[in-house]
Amino acid sequence: MMTYQLPLFPLNTVLFPGMPLPLHVFEERYKEMVQVCLDEKRPFGVVLIRSGVAEGGPLANPYDVGCVAEIVEVQHLGNGRSFIMVIGRERFRILSLDNQQPYLVGQVEALPFQPEPQEQIEHLSNLLTPWLLEYLQFLAEMGQVEFDMSQVPTDIEEFVFLASAAIQLPQEEKQAILENEKASIILRELIKVYREEVSLLRLKPKSDQGIFSLN
């Protein structure tokens, strides 16, 4: 499989393919990284921090699997600072790290799903869909997300990543989902998680339901 170099942005959040992520870029090393990416019209990689901190201090130690982030919108704030909006693209696995730059650069390879029977994946997706729709309806009623049925993708891979991003889980658990190479395993786990979460939400008065986020 072909490998390539990718600047890395360690964060305390997991980015999934197809999902948006707004970022405030203010630290010197990441101002430089983002400017290089803008100048060269190239993406960077978002990786969850395994140890260390996102801001200041030594470069953080990331997990081995992340998501390519394409910059789709930039708002310059002066002094090199900016607000940027990125969209997750493909997953990647880090093969090696280069810390000679002020920011991390990884030698990476794409991480596609392993081939599986289409009928099996479609069946699992159909089982998950009603739970996902009911969960998103809860979010919409609480004003936490604007949602309509047309937003649910028909592409299986896009559907898997939307469902993975939408549910509230600890970031380490989302990372485990991101790393999984089989869509069937992810779908089975999500069916279980969504069933439990929706069942709890059905029992709670609306005033007691917490705050939700798509990330």
Q: Tell me the pLDDT tens digit for each residue of 69-118.
A: 999 999 999 888 999 999 999 999 999 999 899 999 999 999 999 999 99
Whether the per-residue pLDDT at 214 is higher than 60: the answer is no
129-165 pLDDT, tens digit per residue, is: 999 999 988 878 776 666 666 677 889 999 999 999 9
Question: Over 60: is that where the pLDDT of 63 sits?
Answer: yes
CA dist 111 and 109 (Å) reads 6
pLDDT the model gives residue 143 = 66
- Burial environment of residue 128 by CB neighbours within 10 A (0 to 12, 13 to 18, 19 or more): buried
Q: Supply the pTM of this predicted model.
A: 0.90
Residues 37-54 have a mean pLDDT of 95
How confident is the model at residue 164, as a pLDDT?
97
Average the pLDDT over each of 34-38, 56-60, 170-174, 193-197 and give the range with the smallest value.
56-60
d(CA 15, CA 17): 7
The pLDDT, as a whole number, for residue 20 is 96
Does the pLDDT value for residue 122 go beyond 60?
Answer: yes
